[in-house]
Structure 1
Amino acid sequence: MGSNDDEFTTKEEAWVFYKDREEWADVTPIPQDDGPNAVVKIAYTDTFTDVYDYFRAVMAGGELSERALELTEDALNMNAANYTVWQYRRKVLKHLGSDLEAELTFCREMIEMNPKNYQVWHHRRVVVEWLGDASKELRLTEMIFNQDAKNYHAWEHRQWVLRTFKLYDGELNYVDRLLEEDVRNNSAWNQRHFAITQTTGFTPDVIEREVEYTKKAISKVVGNESPWSYLRGVVQHCDNGMNSIGNLEQWCQQMYEGGQRSPHLLTFMIDLLEDRMEREASERPLLLKQTQEICESLAMEHDKIRQEYWRYIERNLSHRFGA
């Protein structure tokens, strides 16, 4: 259990230890028991030790009071990752019938200070479930994304909110804005796939739209993997093969003939050729030769760090589709 109580130590004059507070005189603090042979004894500050000794006492006594709620706030300000404190706080909130809107405010402040802390986000979810109101949640995640566009916990929370409260209206427009700001935002590409999967699904019309959308994005940064991965995910929904929508093979060939040798382009070309070999047996010898040449190009020049991988792919495809 770590300590995060800088704000307390910097306000030493204002801080009064629980052991010196008259209203807590009826409580006997319980020290942490590390056993007789602690391997590494953590040097907690006096403030941290004081708060957590009293928290252990309150929890042991099962006290569910306003002062217990305030104590959990002090404990969480010192260590926001302590699952036990969050759990006990929820127990107190439930027992007291506390103002949950106020709790959302507290939780938002904690998230702003600890944006990558799982326990804080989980607590937020529970409170939102109790309220049955997610009207503040999308805006909250957007505020976090302004600081860190790839915050996993915020994206997980946003997806939970969208699924649970069916708030998908405008989500694609939001993703569009994120990708206009940064086409390399792989989290936004993932969210685009999520939003479509949860709403319209990848119908033929949607697939065609998304292929064109992604081709335009790739044209801006051919060397970025995120839109290529998204494009691969989209065309996997095509019943008639990867090249049945958007003239993808021709599009890739034009980039290739123009001198583009991004490993992501070459990898996608291999995928297209493999798809054709599975469907066009008569063309396999020519297609396999093209595939082998691209694998060799990747192994020897354009993706040498994964040379052995491309050797393996070449052997595998040759074994599957060779005469």
Structure 2
Amino acid sequence: MTNPIAQAKANARTTITTVTLNAAIDKTYYVPAFDKGKVSRVGKVVATAGGKGLNVARVLKQLGHAEVAATGFAGGYNGRFITSRVREAGIRAEFIDIPGESRLCLNLIDGRDGSSTELLEPGPDIGAEALERFKRRLRQLSAESALVVFSGSLPGGVAPELYAELIALSRAAGADVFLDSSGEALVRGVSALPSFIKPNEDEIVSLLPEPRHADLREGIRKLMHRGIPVVAATLGAEGAVAGAGGRLYRVRLPKLETVNTVGSGDSFVAGYAFGHVRGWPVEACLRHAAAAGSANALSATTGDVDPAVHRRLLGEISVEEWPG
């Protein structure tokens, strides 16, 4: 069986394409105090082109990956805002225009304790004609790409097994494939055996036949045994655990004074993808990923990594084999 990443390298592909099927405008409101049922005056607003895949794309550019493309669906005024912000970041925008309005996602940061409250709109339903146009676009992009990263929730109007179908489409075109989703979209998508997944601890256990009797280590091992080469779980301030090549790894972070953790998981995926397409060892990919996730947590903007901060954090993160 042909190795997709080896084939991509042989064809001198360098593009990483990110897929965000339910793109959004991410708006972060910083309020001195947020109390339910009361009027809150916003001190600062930060608006970005959002959705998990767009966070991955933006961080890839910030880390220095030259060729990044972003695709998905964009509709209405919000869709035009999203597309313009993607282009401003130097990312190739390949969105399918749809009727309706792309969603808005709000993140309220309470200045008293830094806690985050998120309000996520569902977004527009996707019709059959728009979905077929997207598949044609994805097939073209996959043929040019070393890696395609599928991230985030599925939009309304599509089947829960859509990620599995799209993973097969991209792989058939010669691209390697990552998946970072949740719920039923993750469960169905995992059946297509992407090269990398990043579920949380509960999701890893839920993917197993007998979740009641499983733990995190067993879950990662069994998912690798099913044919998924890399399984990573981020644990917030506790770092991350991962399985690759039949081995388990523990990633530990320095103590951080976090500003906004939203987008840190996406930044982790971007950091891993950056090393993966360059053929780095697993330990180096994980260190690069953890530094990106941590750097994002130190920024007020979602899906934002300062390269200087990232370089500093690389020396403060430990990656060790995890016995057991």
Give the alignment's TM-score, normalised by structure 1. 0.28
| Rg (Cα) greater in structure | 1
**Larger strand proportion, structure 1 or 2?**
2
Q: Which has the higher helix share?
A: 1
